[in-house]
Structure 1
Amino acid sequence: MGKQLLELIDYLTYALKYEVNQKKSTMAAKDKFHAVVRVALEKQQWRITDDPLRLEVGGTKFEIDLGAEQLLAAERGEEKIAVEIKTFLSDSPLTDYHAALGQFLNYRLALEISDPTRILYLAVPVGVYEVFFKREFAQISVERYQIKQIIYDPIQEVILQWIP
């Protein structure tokens, strides 16, 4: 539990570093986390194709944070992903998760209809993953709804884990 606490403290310190006032802090942190995930993907040789990835399905417009692709030498093809980046900066991680889950499910449906070769991932900071997503309820929910995750370190600007 000590490591989890330290990771949470690092995450909160990082998020609060951008605080000027409540609204500006949240927007600045979201923008910063967006940039962090983009850099982390590029470090793993992903090419960002869309920022944001815009879709329209049945008269409804969607904007997913990032679209990326990577050449796969073994298959001589491309792997395409869409990444929705979440910060979980509100007072309630559960409320943030409810919003993220609904958004994720709708985005996945939109991708299945309009771009079925693209795989959707939910990107979450390591501190949130350690403190919230390792809880039993969160794990059951992630498994039930088949949420693919990217766990990233917002300080080091790297992806720590891909969870298919």
Structure 2
Amino acid sequence: MPAKDIFHDCVKIALIKDGWSISHDPYSLKVGRKDLFIDLGAEKLISAEKGSQKIAVEIKSFVSPSEIQDLENALGQYILYHNVLSRIEPDRVLYLAIREAVFCKLFEQEIGQILLENKVLKLLTFNPETEVIEKWID
């Protein structure tokens, strides 16, 4: 099992504060003989009629000297997990969790805007000091 991201517990607390129940920590996927581990799985009751919404959350810290390399690595992992998850549990939506500061540095710039406009990934941003979710970006 992989090591937890440095912001793992912070995101977990933020999700709980936002009304989510943590269903998996980590959320494991088996593909053939390969095991994959998404950081968290969570569920939220929408209403009695509509049932629950299910998400999986991959947390990335973006602390290396190269933000672009961190972005490339995060995108590769996100795409892999997204494709496997869509086959195994298609009603669970995958989000990449990043700090609000990282969002401002990368996704408010042209490179990040391209990814958002092309709907390459879904993001949630969080504040590590207050342990709250700042944005959900679909």
For residue 124 of structure 2, what is the amino acid of its counterpart?
I
Report the structure, 1 or 2, having the larger helix content: 1
Instruction: List runs of 5+ in structure 1 lacking aligned partners.
Output: 1-26
Cα distance in 2 for residues equivalent to 1:129 and 1:75: 35
Deviation beyond 4 Å, 4+ runs, structure 1: none
Q: CA deviation at 1:134?
A: 1.0
Identity of aligned residues (%): 43
Paired residues, number: 136
Cα distance in 1 for residues equivalent to 2:114 and 2:103: 14
For residue 85 of structure 2, what is the amino acid of its counterpart?
L
For residue 113 of structure 1, what is the amino acid of its counterpart?
R
Cα distance in 2 for residues equivalent to 1:141 and 1:163: 12
Report the structure, 1 or 2, having the larger strand content: 2
1:79 to 50, 53, 58: 53
Cα distance in 2 for residues equivalent to 1:154 and 1:119: 23
Residues 143-162 of structure 1 show CA distances to partners (whole Å, capped at 9, x for unaligned) of 33531100100111000110
Residues 111-126 of structure 1 mapped to structure 2, 5 A cutoff? 111-126=85-100
| Other-structure match for 1:40 | 14
TM-score normalised per structure 2? 0.92
Cα distance in 1 for residues equivalent to 2:15 and 2:62: 20
Residues 24-39 of structure 1 mapped to structure 2, 5 A cutoff? 30-31=5-6, 33-39=7-13
Cα distance in 2 for residues equivalent to 1:109 and 1:66: 17
TM-score normalised per structure 1? 0.78
For residue 46 of structure 1, what is the amino acid of its counterpart?
W
Cα distance in 2 for residues equivalent to 1:62 and 1:146: 20
1:145/1:102 CA distance change after superposition, 3 Å: farther
Residues 147-158 of structure 1 mapped to structure 2, 5 A cutoff? 147-158=121-132
Cα distance in 1 for residues equivalent to 2:35 and 2:87: 13
2:83 to 109, 122, 126: 109
Cα distance in 2 for residues equivalent to 1:52 and 1:132: 27
| Other-structure match for 2:103 | 129
Report the secondary structure of 2:76's partner residue. helix
RMSD, matched Cα: 1.6
Residues 80-134 of structure 1 show CA distances to partners (whole Å, capped at 9, x for unaligned) of 0000001100000000000000000000011011111100000000111111121
2:118 equivalent to 1:144:
yes
Instruction: List runs of 5+ in structure 2 lacking aligned partners.
Output: none
1:61 to 28, 35, 38: 35
